[in-house]
Homo-oligomer: A and B are copies of this chain.
Amino acid sequence: MATHSLFLLPGDGIGTEIMVEAEKLIDWTNSEQLTDFSTDSGLAGGAAYDKHQVAITDEDTEKAKAADAVIFGAVGGPKWDNVPYGHRPEAALLRLRKELAVFANLRPAICYPALADASSLKRELVEGLDILIVRELTGGVYFGEPKTITDLENGQKRAIDTQVYETYEIDRIARVAFDLARTRNNKVHSADKKNVMKSGVLWDEVVKGVGKDYADVELHHILADNAAMQLVRNPKQFDVMVTDNLFGDILSDVAAMLTGSLGMLPSASLGAPDPVTGKRKAFYEPVHGSAPDIAGKGIANPIAMIASVAMALRYSFNMIELATRIENAISAVLSDGLRTGDIAQDNRKTVGTEEMGAAILAKL
């Protein structure tokens, strides 16, 4: 039996194409005996809906829960725009997040030096940028009840969403952020809207409390609207930013877009360590979506997917060296001038998904 199990969910659109490159990487690390992974795969999103009329089956959800790590591609596409609400492709993501209880979403926003010019920001503002957004992923307005639409009189309707946070949820995500800050630059910004939201008041209170256990880490409070502005104004002032599910959704997208490296960014979603085994459930996926417009053409950028595998090696299997080796291979290929269409530049060679995956493997 293999030492570790990976469950692959390619999903829709370019998800299936970039997953192929991830699999080649896994085959290679196995064949080099750097890892001993077993892999299994399932359907998620539109692919699952087409076959089973749900965004993900119970069986695949159980497999995801049993695996040491889930490697996810991307879901969605216009084909499923009119699918019933609870079965839409993104329901797979929401179900997996909740059932795996992966409450800590780590979204690095790194500017690859070779791509600094691709940013819409001035080069000097983003060159060398390395921010880590730590987003709470299993609470807040995404899951709070009531979450309803009710009919009123005169054809009027009332829609309700509920943001709920309890102390323990904030405490544990804050600890993840502070622990990560210690491996970086010892600085955490905590973003909320405590000036208008009670959940923000509690958020700030709990984060400040946790901060007392991390006297060596600088803690700054920032309002979420100001955080969005400051990310645009001067992103390098940030190192680790911790925030709730909804603000994290928006702020991590802004941070990712700043780098000019959107097609390159991976993410990790981690659960709590098991009290007995110490293992934590984990879910890795690229930050970009399923890009239906370029799906099936063999031109998608596989780098974020490959970097997601590297993140799995780092966070789920503590194979820091191998993770770094892969990350360096990505940088090297970019420095060589290789580009997929999304990051095409004058005087650079534009290659397809397969060729980019192969070039990274070759560097290894």
Contact = CB atoms under 8 A, between A and B. Distances in A.
Interface stretch (A140-148, A175-183, A333-341): A140-148
Interface stretch (A32-40, A149-157, A266-274): A149-157
Interface in A120-176: 120-122, 125, 141-142, 144, 147-149, 152, 155-168
A166 B156 contact: yes
A1 interface: no
A122 B260 CA distance: 13
B201 A149 contact: yes
Contacts of A224: 250
B229 A199 contact: no
A364 interface: no
Contacts of A122: 120-122
Specify which of A225, A228, A233 lies most central, judged by the most chain B CB atoms within 10 Å of its CB. A228
A257 B256 CA distance: 17
A249 B193 contact: yes
Nearest to A254: B228
A94 interface: yes
Interface in A194-242: 195-199, 201-203, 224-226, 228-229, 232-234
A198 B94 contact: no
Given A226-B253, A233-B257, A157 B148 contact: no
A329 interface: no
A120 B196 contact: no
- The range of chain A's interface size is 35 or more
B258 A141 contact: no
Contact of A164 (B159, B225, B257): B159
Interface in A46-91: 85, 88, 90
Interface string A279-299: 000000000000000000000
List the 6 shortest-distance A-B pairs measured between CB atoms, nearest first: A159-B202, A159-B199, A229-B257, A161-B163, A156-B167, A225-B253
26 contacts: A85-B201, A90-B195, A121-B121, A141-B197, A142-B196, A147-B197, A152-B167, A156-B166, A157-B202, A158-B164, A158-B165, A158-B167, A159-B203, A160-B162, A160-B163, A160-B199, A161-B199, A224-B250, A225-B250, A225-B253, A229-B254, A229-B256, A229-B257, A229-B262, A232-B232, A233-B257
